[in-house]
Chains A and B, each alone.
Chain A
Amino acid sequence: MTSEAAAGPGASAPSAAGAAGGILVPRLTQSWRSRLFIVLGLALIVIVPTNVGSTYWLTVLNGVGVAAIAAVGLNVLTGYAGQLSLGQSFFVGIGAFSAQYFGGSLDLPMVLWLPLAGLLAAAAGGAVAPFALRLRGPYLAIVSLSLVFLGIYIARNIPSVTGGYNGTVVEATATLGPIDFERPTIGGLSFSREQGMFLLTWSVLAVVLLLVANIMRTRAGRAMQASRDHDIAAEVLGVRMLRTQVNAFVVASGIGGIAGALLAVNLEYIRPENFDVALAVQYLAIIVIGGLGTLFGPVLGALFVGLVPVLVDEISGSLPFMSEAGSDGLSTTDLTLILYGSLIVLFLTLEPRGLVQILRRTSVWLRSRRSPR
């Protein structure tokens, strides 16, 4: 990823070396600072699971990773291509049950079930895309919402794949060649399933981020952003709306499917109700809180949505005015919900462009403080 990022063209035009020399190749990173960030992030994928032993924290972080992947997908559609969708949990569901079907029922290896889950969801996304061409804004949101209900209904009625109402235990195994993510061993050391799942989930997230970054700096992704900002102008410039729409839906739902497959192996038990409207709204909340149409927004948003309630819960447990479990009065969950809700309102009021923007401003502020006047 880093080598990719830094690999410039051997031959940049000498004449353009002045003002335009740096712009000839669309780079992933603009500064050493962001490069350092990426290296640090990649290192954390290994450092966190090998040093955090608590299965609880790892489970929380694995949930964050899966949600981040699904949100990165939704961000392609909503953030970059400007199509408001409340249907991402439908595609995540397709991925989850596909993973169990291909990996569990058919016992295929992960190199097959993981891409298949993505492909199946992508195909469903491609089929939906033409409808979205005629529907904009809230209308598309409503139609995508109905996908979620449709999905739950269908899933309940194909028990041979989904287990129907009862759901199904996930038997798909997460092994890649010699690496067994469910009981990873390095040297003589063995790690827990949660540690292995962290490695798998966050590595996939890194790959997905790289792919999305690449798409967005090349022709197809630029077309998505252009049609988001001004669809008429984009069309006049030769951007084909249907193609662009299908691209956005296919990429978004394909990534959603991958997230679903990872959700399935993380949860080990899935049922149609898992993939409901609440989940779809959560994904939307993640990208709005993190920052629409930004690469790392969904990751920050997922960390916020996943960690804030847990952290507030940790803190509120030690507060004196909390009620005993079982009695009436303010419970820790109540307090968590109140604080979590207030934080969302606060953040979005102060910075409607999301956590990414807050982070950017903070770093600019820090730099201005550090530099001598």
Chain B
Amino acid sequence: MSHHARKGFAAVAAAAALSLVAAGCAAQSSDDDDTPEGGATAAERELAAVPGFDPAAGVIKIGDILALSGPISATAKEQLVGQQIWFDKVNEQGGIAGKYKIELITEDNQYNPQLTVQAYQKIADEVVMLSGVLGSPSVKALIPLLDRTDALAVPSAQDPSFAKDPAVLPTFPSYQTNVTNAVSYLVSQDEKFKTARYCQLVMDSDWGIAVSEGVAWVTGKIGAPTGTIQKFAALDTAFTAQITALKNDNCEVVVFGGAANNLPSVVAAATQLDFQPQWIAEFIALATAFKTSDIAPYLTENMIFTGPGAKLDDESVEGIRNLLAGLGDTEITVQHVYGYMQAVATTTLLEKAVELGDLSGPGLRRAATELDSISFQGLGGDVTLGEPEERVLPRATTIYHYNPAAPSGLEAAAVGYQAPEGFDDHF
């Protein structure tokens, strides 16, 4: 039996030796570092090939990691359509810098951070950057990996912590900003909201915490009293307990931090209990299908929505005009706008990177610091770029009334609204 052991060791040793010999194909020489020199101007130099960009083919590939399946796949697909409309438009006009066409590669993350990392590994060598990563947890999970490879992504998420992260090209106002603007808007419309009692019905998650932060800050600023904070889980369908608590606390304004799958149940419970405060919700809580549903009258009566965008049928706004043209018969939603904005941020950055002559990860990161800001064709406030620590998320958002006759049920009440009360620095 001991000669078996010796044979075993010999086999392991041989295998180890073999594998090391073979290792050349999967290892890199340690001193492999030839980033392009930055002496010559871009015009004189041929743009170097990098993973995801082949100058000969004239194609820049970018990735989008979003939930193509699962409960929020409808939302994700609308974002994807929005992105594609702008990329098609750019390609129609010749592409980035008039010559490089954009090709979009999508991966499904099912809203799962772990799958996001896997999905990125799968396409990392095929794309120059990511034009979307859906979900704050997924973006956070990806940041260490992006940092290690000096790569860059546009988040489909509104966590304010992304603003100053060099791995991220921030695009959207934060949840806190959304809420601050909405409350400020109410106060500007009617003095009574200055002294109204503000309560919350928020998801038991980091999103809910972000909403609560916004409410706490803005009510502190206007000096309004605050009431109970009711929480719920992502897939809850029974809200009677929470609505009863809100009603018993005599809430006059309730800020809702939840998604479209929660809203019908919330409205059902509120209707049943005859609870009619002023509601504030984010655009994420809305689905086009609500227009023809039983909850439409309640929404019309009691809710305002906040988020990016403009008047959704205003063709004088460039972004809306392009979206409407690209969508054809499909009804426009804020999710289309959201995806379109990501695409605009992506192409703006790519133009700058081509101008600087470097489409590599570090090149894209440098391009982001050299851009002063990105504007979104009238679809939302500008994002201030520059060095990561100087970056500021957009402050202006659009406030919508609910109106089943308007596209998606959203009738813009105030476009590009920015709270005169100001914002906390980290929003």
Contact = CB atoms under 8 A, between A and B. Distances in A.
Interface of A: 2-3, 5-8, 32, 35, 38-40, 42-43, 46-47, 49-56, 58-60, 63, 164-167, 169-170, 185-186, 188-195, 267-269, 271, 273-274, 310, 325-328, 331-334, 337
B11 interface: yes
Q: Give the interface SS of chain B, mostly helix, strand, loop or mixed.
A: helix
B68 A49 contact: no
A189 B117 CA distance: 26
A60 B25 contact: no
A55 B143 CA distance: 16
B270 to A, nearest CB: 26
A38 B4 CA distance: 12
A165 B211 CA distance: 13
A75 B20 CA distance: 34
Interface of B: 1-2, 4-5, 8-9, 11-12, 15-16, 18-20, 22-30, 68-70, 73, 77, 80-81, 84, 106, 108, 110, 113-114, 117-118, 121-122, 124, 137, 140-145, 148, 161, 205-206, 209
A325 B80 contact: yes
Nearest to A269: B141
Contact of B29 (A167, A188, A271, A327): A188
Given A35-B8, A166-B206, A326 B30 contact: no
A113 B38 CA distance: 43
Contacts of A35: 4, 8
Given A6-B1, A8-B1, A50-B22, A165 B16 contact: no
A269 B113 contact: yes
Contact of B113 (A63, A170, A274, A332): A274
A209 B245 CA distance: 53
24 contacts: A3-B8, A40-B15, A43-B16, A43-B19, A47-B18, A50-B23, A50-B26, A51-B19, A51-B26, A53-B25, A63-B118, A165-B206, A169-B143, A189-B24, A189-B27, A190-B30, A191-B26, A194-B121, A268-B141, A269-B113, A269-B142, A269-B143, A274-B114, A326-B84
Contacts of A192: 28
Contacts, number: 156
Given A56-B122, A169-B143, A190-B27, A46 B19 contact: yes
Contacts of A337: 69
A42 B9 CA distance: 10
Contacts of A271: 113, 137, 140
Contacts of B25: 51, 53
Contacts of A188: 29-30
A168 B364 CA distance: 26
Nearest to B2: A6
Contact of B22 (A5, A42, A51, A60): A51
A269 B4 contact: no
Nearest to B137: A271
A53 B137 contact: no
Nearest to B26: A53
Contact of B23 (A5, A39, A186): A186
Nearest to B206: A165
B140 A39 contact: no
B84 A189 contact: no
A241 B4 CA distance: 39
Contacts of A334: 69
A191 B19 CA distance: 13
A192 B206 CA distance: 33
A189 B69 contact: no
Nearest to B81: A326
A28 B7 CA distance: 17
Nearest to A310: B118
Nearest to A168: B140
B19 A47 contact: yes
Contacts of B27: 50, 186, 189-191, 195
Contacts of A190: 27-30
Contact of B12 (A2, A56, A327): A2
Contact of B19 (A7, A50, A53, A58): A50
Nearest to B11: A39
Contacts of A6: 1-2, 4-5, 8
A331 B145 contact: no
A333 to B, nearest CB: 4
Given A35-B8, A189-B30, A190-B30, A7 B209 contact: no
B77 A327 contact: yes
Nearest to B208: A165
A335 to B, nearest CB: 10
Given A59-B117, A165-B206, A269-B141, 8 more contacts: A6-B4, A8-B2, A39-B15, A42-B12, A47-B15, A166-B206, A185-B30, A268-B145
B69 A331 contact: yes
B13 to A, nearest CB: 9
A254 B1 CA distance: 33
Contact of B121 (A52, A55, A166): A55
Given A6-B2, A190-B30, A333-B110, A273 B22 contact: no
Contacts of A326: 68, 77, 80-81, 84, 106
Contacts of B22: 47, 50-51
A169 B80 CA distance: 29
A59 B117 CA distance: 8
Given A6-B2, A268-B144, A49 B26 contact: yes
A43 B15 contact: yes
Contacts of A332: 108
B7 to A, nearest CB: 8
Contacts of A170: 144
B5 A2 contact: yes
Contact of B5 (A7, A310, A328, A333): A7
A42 B14 CA distance: 12
B339 to A, nearest CB: 10
A54 B122 CA distance: 8
B69 A333 contact: yes
Nearest to B234: A273
A7 B9 CA distance: 13
Contacts of B143: 169, 269
B144 A269 contact: yes
Contacts of B122: 56
Contacts of A55: 121, 124
B331 to A, nearest CB: 15
B43 to A, nearest CB: 35
A269 to B, nearest CB: 4
A152 to B, nearest CB: 10
A273 B15 CA distance: 41
B40 to A, nearest CB: 30
A291 B106 CA distance: 36
B271 to A, nearest CB: 31
